Structure 1
């Protein structure tokens, strides 16, 4: 079974650098928003998480189509504070080390895997910053070394931004080093869709 995230005890920072005109063209081609395609299979870990937490994965009841969150200075500050707090307070450990299984998506205690960081940020941003779950989307990517990884996408009127346990900065999705594979549906958190413009890997990851 494919692993969604493989992390050692040492924190890895993914540093985004524009290295060439080819990279700049790749960013321009991606644009500020992910283009969402056909439905995709749910990650096995998320399927099991939904079975244990059905209220987290029911369709979102609302009138009309979901709209991206509009950012303001106060909200930006709250988002950055929550992102930094989770990254600082949770120790990165693999599911194998914590639970003895390859994949186990859950809210972390003192330690967790990449998807656990994303789940915790999603929960806190909804509860404390009052951001709709439709704008907080679990997302599966591939790192430059080929490993799977999970991050949280913040869907805003200014574009899609990434909250990542491997980076304290919140970056536009097209400035991250990842190939983007699939993410949660904005209308139904129990369903996933492919990302059609997310295959370009922009830069390498640097270990520190």
Structure 2
């Protein structure tokens, strides 16, 4: 992933950092890239699957009565941000460095905003997503990457220069002559 200039954090993340200061205060000079052993890979898969299965998909409006609100999934429900925050928290509890677990904002195939977790590893940036059980390299997902959490200052964000073409075309059945 090619990082660009500093950008504003999502409003929901700003609110999250105000509500959960310790999650955003761990500044580091040297961001980590996790050596991806078989043990770490298995742990990544297990945590992604566990969180995806444990949280009931629910909009912020339904859960919190607001259009956008970031929080841990203490009620067992939430939208993409709750999944990401829980995955990040579970991986940190398992000994992964926070600087390698970056909340990332993407545009999905409907051009809607969506949050995923980027995990920086020796095999490249991997994506944990509540819309997929598979853990994939970032470039193998159907998303357009917009911005992500800074690897050195968790409350800061950096733009992503994603110049890949991610459009999806389809050919329908044609009738008549060619």
The TM-score normalised by the length of structure 1 is 0.77
Alignment-derived partner of residue 139 in structure 1: 104
Q: Please list the CA deviations of residues 44-91 of structure 1 after superposition, one character each: whole Å capped at 9, or x if unmatched.
A: 0000000011111124245xx223111000111011001000001111
Structure 1: distance between partners of 2:69 and 2:115 = 13
Q: Against the structure 1 CA distance between its residues 125 and 178, is the aligned structure 2 distance closer, same or farther, given a 3 Å change threshold? A: same
Structure 1 unaligned regions, length at least 5? 1-33
Query: Aligned pair count?
Result: 168
Structure of greater Rg: 2
Alignment-derived partner of residue 22 in structure 2: 55
- Contact 2:129 2:135 survives alignment (8 Å): yes
- Contact 1:180 1:198 survives alignment (8 Å): no
CA-based RMSD of the aligned residues comes to 1.4
Structure 1 residue 203: Cα displacement = 4.4
Alignment-derived partner of residue 162 in structure 1: 127
Alignment-derived partner of residue 104 in structure 1: 69
Structure 2 unaligned regions, length at least 5? 170-178
Select the residue among 164, 175, 185 that pairs with 2:150. 185
Structure 1: distance between partners of 2:139 and 2:17 = 29
Greater relative contact order (Cα < 8 A, sep 6+): 1
Q: Please list the CA deviations of residues 96-153 of structure 1 after superposition, one character each: whole Å capped at 9, or x if unmatched.
A: 010110111001031111010000000000102x110000000000011111100000
Structure 1: distance between partners of 2:44 and 2:154 = 20
What pairs with 1:56-75 in structure 2 (closer than 5 Å)?
Answer: 56-62=23-29, 65-75=30-40
